[in-house]
């Protein structure tokens, strides 16, 4: 964009961001007037360090949510994606986090998203803690604490890598996000076995699901991963709303920033990066591997089928990585990727 056109564009985006916040504030007032109270939805985070230097990345979102439907048995019925987007985000809410024997008062962002780093001396593995908003009943959450001796981790994309979505096509994306029930979503063949083998063969491995999807779909995504036996992991999603200088947040920048952050937080860990050729994973992983060749164990790119590529609007170009210092492999499903990773010694047989 020419420099003389950039300032007006930023002003428009800033105006749109203010409008979005006013809309959420109006919806919040209406919901509170009807006696609705906010709650916090917890997302699995991660942590590291040792002893007094321990820390945890705490993730969640404050919202007023519509009541969930129940079946005749009293259990929760199947939930469609639109319910998550119907929730009212509570911006700048004060949240009480009790973790590692200490209590912290923190504040969410404009969209109600909580993403904070807190000091916490925790044992390695999955550890539980609580969060509450405005004096509500505490909600239990958890973080995966990476032990100091761990040297291997996994970062996996979600859309068309572990779950068939054909996301780039707007109508398909809307159908998958708002209408399709979690039970109707299909996993990519062999990916649960691949990630499960990693978790089983390398105990203590941090499993990070890094996606450009909105935080609204996190509960549905968590249900999907459990239902299809994917190993538990931390979720790093994003917010689709406008920022001070963009109409919508950049999914590419979201992935780039979190990869660099993980490299800083875990300087001794080498990451297995898993993605697909339907979006920009090859370019994102290429850039990260070029910047940090000593922090990448391998890159595994899942090739979309012809039908999936048509729905996804085509494939992105996969560069020639023959000269790369990092092992680079591609296959159409998880079984093929697992076989190559085992043959290279990235994953033990």
Q: Are residues 91 and 173 in the same domain?
A: no
Pairing of strands 234-238, 94-99: unpaired
Residue 20 falls inside a structural domain: no
Q: Are residues 268 and 169 in the same domain?
A: yes
Mean pLDDT of 14-27: 66
Q: Are residues 122 and 208 in the same domain?
A: no
What CATH number corresponds to the domain at position 138? 2.60.40
Separation between Cα atoms, residue 300 and residue 317, nearest integer Å = 15
Q: Is the dihedral of CA 236, 241, 242, 248 positive or negative?
A: positive
Q: Are residues 174 and 54 in the same domain?
A: no
What CATH number corresponds to the domain at position 205? 3.40.50.1000
Averaged confidence pLDDT in the chain? 82
Q: Are residues 239 and 203 in the same domain?
A: yes
183 versus 173: the higher-pLDDT residue is: 183
Mean pLDDT of 212-237: 90
pLDDT at residue 6, as a whole number: 45
Last residue of a domain, one of 123, 145, 167: 145
Domain count, the chain: 2
Least confident segment among 22-26, 85-89, 246-250 = 246-250
User: Where residue 169 falls among pLDDT bands split at 50, 70, 90?
Assistant: very low
DSSP string, 161-229: TTB---TTSHHHHHIIIIISBGGG--BPTTHHHHHHHHHHHSTT--EEEEEEEEGGGHHHHHHHHHHTT
232 versus 8: the higher-pLDDT residue is: 232
Beta strands in the chain (DSSP E): 39-48, 55-64, 88-89, 94-99, 102-107, 113-119, 125-133, 139-145, 152-156, 207-214, 234-238, 270-276, 296-302, 328-331
Q: What are phi and psi of 40, to 5 degrees?
A: -120, 130
pLDDT at residue 333, as a whole number: 95
pLDDT at residue 312, as a whole number: 54
Residue 282 falls inside a structural domain: yes
| Four-point Cα dihedral 69, 140, 191, 327, nearest 10 | 150
Q: Are residues 131 and 208 in the same domain?
A: no
Residue 114 belongs to domain spanning? 39-145
User: Where residue 4 falls among pLDDT bands split at 50, 70, 90?
Assistant: very low
Mean pLDDT of 155-172: 75
Separation between Cα atoms, residue 176 and residue 170, nearest integer Å = 10
Q: Are residues 258 and 136 in the same domain?
A: no
The Cα angle at residue 258 between residues 225 and 246, in degrees rounded to 5: 105
Last residue of a domain, one of 108, 126, 145: 145
Residue 99 falls inside a structural domain: yes
Mean pLDDT of 29-46: 84
Separation between Cα atoms, residue 124 and residue 45, nearest integer Å = 13
Q: Are residues 190 and 66 in the same domain?
A: no
Last residue of a domain, one of 116, 145, 174: 145
pLDDT at residue 316, as a whole number: 57
Q: Give the residues across from 98 on adjacent strands.
A: 103, 130
User: Where residue 326 falls among pLDDT bands split at 50, 70, 90?
Assistant: very high
pTM here is 0.83
CA 129 to chain centre: 20
Q: Are residues 141 and 160 in the same domain?
A: no
Mean pLDDT of 254-275: 97
pLDDT over 90 (residue 44):
yes
Residue 192 Cα distances to 119, 154, 177, 186, 197, angstroms: 33, 13, 21, 12, 8
Separation between Cα atoms, residue 263 and residue 158, nearest integer Å = 20
Helix (H) or strand (E) holding 307: helix 306-311
Q: Are residues 121 and 168 in the same domain?
A: no
Separation between Cα atoms, residue 321 and residue 308, nearest integer Å = 24
Q: Are residues 100 and 249 in the same domain?
A: no
User: Where residue 221 falls among pLDDT bands split at 50, 70, 90?
Assistant: confident
Separation between Cα atoms, residue 176 and residue 100, nearest integer Å = 38
Helix (H) or strand (E) holding 30: helix 3-33
pLDDT at residue 76, as a whole number: 40
pLDDT tens digits, one per residue of 100-144: 999 999 999 888 899 999 999 999 999 999 999 988 899 999 999
Q: Do residues 40 and 114 lie in contact, with contact meaning Cβ atoms separated by under 8 Å?
A: yes
Which range scores top for mean pLDDT: 137-141, 212-216, 317-321?
137-141
Q: Are residues 132 and 170 in the same domain?
A: no
CA 90 to chain centre: 20
């Amino acid at each position: 964009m020419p420099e003389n056109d950039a300032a007006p564009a930023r002003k428009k985006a800033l105006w749109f961001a203010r409008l979005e916040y006013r809309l959420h504030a109006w919806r919040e007032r209406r919901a509170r007037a009807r006696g609705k109270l906010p709650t916090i939805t917890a997302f699995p985070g991660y942590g590291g360090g040792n002893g007094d230097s321990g820390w945890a990345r705490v993730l969640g979102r404050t919202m007023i949510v519509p009541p969930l439907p129940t079946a005749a048995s009293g259990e929760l019925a199947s939930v469609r994606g639109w319910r998550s987007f119907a929730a009212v985000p509570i911006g700048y809410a004060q949240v009480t986090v009790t973790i590692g024997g200490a209590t912290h008062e923190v504040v969410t962002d404009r969209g109600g998203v909580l993403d904070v780093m807190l000091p916490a001396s925790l044992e390695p593995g999955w550890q539980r803690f609580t969060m509450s908003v405005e004096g509500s009943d505490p909600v239990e959450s958890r973080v995966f604490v990476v032990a100091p001796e761990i040297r291997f981790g996994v970062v996996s994309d979600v859309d068309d890598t572990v779950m068939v979505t054909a996301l780039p096509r707007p109508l398909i994306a809307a159908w998958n996000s708002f209408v399709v029930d979690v039970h109707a979503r299909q996993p990519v063949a062999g990916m649960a076995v691949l990630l499960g083998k990693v978790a089983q063969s390398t105990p203590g491995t941090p499993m990070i699901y890094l996606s450009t999807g909105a935080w609204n779909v996190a509960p549905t995504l968590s249900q999907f991963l459990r239902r299809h036996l994917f190993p538990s992991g931390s979720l790093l999603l994003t917010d689709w709303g406008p920022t001070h200088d963009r109409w919508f947040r950049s999914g590419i920048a979201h992935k780039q920033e979190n990869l660099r952050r993980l490299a800083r937080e875990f300087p001794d860990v080498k990451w297995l990066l898993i993605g697909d050729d339907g979006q920009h994973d090859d370019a994102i992983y290429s850039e990260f591997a070029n910047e940090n060749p000593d922090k990448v164990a391998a890159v595994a790119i899942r090739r979309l089928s012809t039908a999936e590529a048509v729905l996804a609007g085509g494939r992105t170009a996969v560069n020639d990585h023959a000269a790369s210092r990092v092992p680079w492999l591609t296959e159409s499903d998880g079984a093929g990727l697992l076989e190559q990773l085992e043959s290279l010694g990235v994953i033990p047989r």
